[in-house]
A and B are shown apart, each in its own frame.
Chain A
Amino acid sequence: MKPQQMIVRHKLFDRLCHWTIVVVGLVTFLTGFSFFFPSFQWLSGIVGTPQLAKVMHPFFGIAMCLLLALMLIRYYHHNKWNKYDLPWMKAVVWVLLQKEDNIPPVGHYNPGQKMLFRAFVIFVLAFVITGVMMWQPYFAPLFSPETVNWATLIHSACGILMLIALVVHVWMATWIEGSITGMLYGKVSRAWAKKHHPMMLEEEDHK
């Protein structure tokens, strides 16, 4: 059997960025979850006490958002809409059922991933803006209580929506075997690319 031919899907910088976001984001999400669901306050134990969680959450959150913004900028060119997206989207049920003969080809990212990309752009912006507005005791006093209250609602809603988006992200990453190896070590096999992102292979060959 000939050895697998591997191609680079994620560069070292992006991989480091991704896994740093995972760690920082885990702390941000566990502490944030503990504020939204007081019954799960024990989740704030990830940083020690609920009081420490309140102090640390904004700093971890800012780090998460900055790194995420950096990654989104670096992956922007892979995530522009193109003419292959609509046919794929129409066949999304076949994607989930793994009937690969019915799935139109896509490039480096499929439309589902591009939608997730756009959702993350919105979340990053919303988190930073509303987060600063509700940041006690530094910035919150600069805004009216009503404004801070609405900011809190938007912040929490984005938290829940992003958590749902992350469940989908993890679901897909663990289902499509080879993805996590790709994000850990950077390379995927040519066969993997042909199966999931055929046009990425073409892009690669035209380099």
Chain B
Amino acid sequence: MATQDIIRRSGTTDITPASQARIGAVKQVTKLFDATKCTGCKACQVACSEWNDLRDEVGTFQGSYQNPMTLSPDSWNIMQYHEVMDDNKLRWQFTHTACMHCADPACLKACSTAGAIVQHANGTVDFDSDKCIGCGYCASACPFNVPKISKKDNKAYKCTLCSDRLAVGLEPACVKTCTVGALRYGTREDMLFYAEKRVQQLKERGYHNAGLYNPEGVGGTHYMMILHDINKAETYGMPKDPQIPAATEIRQDWLKPLGTAGLLATAAFALMHRVTVGRNIVEEDQPGYVPEDNHEEAGK
């Protein structure tokens, strides 16, 4: 992939940004999940493992069809089975859980390494495993709890939105395989248009709170979800109002500049002091020192 395709890179100052040559004609892309259509078949989970050449360890039964229970370095998307009670009736809510590909990614902001996390011109967020050092800052900063550090190689992993497939004009493996058309992929414009129509349709059918999950706190996401009830995002395992965490913002936007200023100021003060005040020596210990009361004798 051409490096002109990378428009943002981690650990890089605004003074030396990633390639800005492109004028923006590359279409922003988005994956769209329709929770109202999903049947929880897990084909997306399998397709992801197949395409990305991953095999998670076989886990143990945890009282749910969900398996594994969380994303892992070897499971980049999982089907979450949420059991919801409505009027004393049990129903399932399925969530296709994967990286949200935030427009303003907390992981990229938190990253300790130049260029280990990048954002492509089409909006997707990708990890460069070759550069990753496994510090885990991305894992602790992500408001969706997505990146996971592998014990095999101490590197962070997450859904790439199949950036290798997108680069050659294919859709992500999970979308390709979806059995009921709950997953879609296309330009952001098209997906927003489709989602609006679908939400309207759901409202007409009685889902008055149906809506699109595209959280503003992280600048919108390149993976959006249509939910039966947008006010109950947490019942889908999604945070209501995800943000870049305060600890990440304080560290990068405040501690860095203030720390740099503090360090330079202290060093500058120390240097000025040394040059201005001069040496601090013990005169008695200098070679040829003569005590003051002996001056006359010494002069004789």
The reply to whether chain A is a binding partner of chain B is yes
**Contact A53-B133, Cβ < 8 Å, known A157-B255, A160-B259:** yes
Sort chain B's interface into a size bin. Answer: 35 or more
In the complex, B13 has a CB within 8 A of chain A = yes
In the complex, A73 has a CB within 8 A of chain B = no
**Contact A152-B256, Cβ < 8 Å, known A54-B135, A168-B266:** no
User: In the bound complex, do residue A97 and residue B247 qualify as a contact, i.e. CB atoms below 8 Å apart?
Assistant: no
**Contact A195-B114, Cβ < 8 Å, known A98-B277, A136-B135:** no
**Contact A50-B277, Cβ < 8 Å, known A137-B151, A148-B136, A164-B263:** no
In the complex, B214 has a CB within 8 A of chain A = no
How long is the Cα–Cα vector from A156 to B248 in the complex, in angstroms?
Answer: 11
In the complex, B281 has a CB within 8 A of chain A = yes
In the complex, A20 has a CB within 8 A of chain B = no
In the complex, B288 has a CB within 8 A of chain A = yes
Please name all residues of chain B whose beta carbon is closer than 8 Å to the beta carbon of A1 when the two chains form the complex. Answer: 287-289
User: In the bound complex, do residue A152 and residue B247 qualify as a contact, i.e. CB atoms below 8 Å apart?
Assistant: yes
Closest Cβ of chain A to B265, distance in Å, is: 9
Of the listed stretches B26-34, B39-47, B139-147, chain A binds: B139-147
In the complex, B113 has a CB within 8 A of chain A = yes
How long is the Cα–Cα vector from A160 to B285 in the complex, in angstroms?
Answer: 37
Residue of A nearest to B155 (CB): A51
Q: Number of contacts between A and B (CB, 8 Å)?
A: 138
**Contact A97-B277, Cβ < 8 Å, known A167-B267, A168-B266, A195-B282:** yes
Q: Return the contact of A51 from the options B134, B141, B151 (Cβ within 8 A).
A: B134
SS class of chain A's interface: helix, strand, loop or mixed?
A: helix
How long is the Cα–Cα vector from A23 to B11 in the complex, in angstroms?
Answer: 27
How long is the Cα–Cα vector from A192 to B284 in the complex, in angstroms?
Answer: 8
Please name all residues of chain B whose beta carbon is closer than 8 Å to the beta carbon of A125 when the two chains form the complex. Answer: none
How long is the Cα–Cα vector from A91 to B11 in the complex, in angstroms?
Answer: 44
In the complex, A69 has a CB within 8 A of chain B = no
In the complex, A189 has a CB within 8 A of chain B = yes
Please name all residues of chain B whose beta carbon is closer than 8 Å to the beta carbon of A167 when the two chains form the complex. Answer: 263, 266-267, 270
In the complex, A82 has a CB within 8 A of chain B = no
Of the listed stretches A11-19, A36-44, A60-68, A104-112, chain B binds: A36-44
In the complex, A178 has a CB within 8 A of chain B = yes
Instruction: Name 21 A/B residue pairs within 8 A (Cβ), A-sorted.
Output: A1-B288, A4-B285, A38-B11, A50-B113, A51-B133, A98-B278, A98-B280, A134-B140, A136-B136, A136-B149, A140-B136, A145-B141, A145-B142, A149-B141, A149-B245, A150-B247, A153-B250, A156-B259, A164-B263, A167-B267, A192-B285
Which are the 5 A-B pairs with shortest beta-carbon distances?
A: A38-B11, A191-B284, A136-B136, A160-B259, A171-B270
B positions within 8 Å CB-CB of A: 10-13, 110-114, 131, 133-137, 139-142, 145, 149-151, 154, 245, 247-248, 250-251, 255-256, 259, 262-263, 266-267, 270, 273-274, 277-285, 287-289
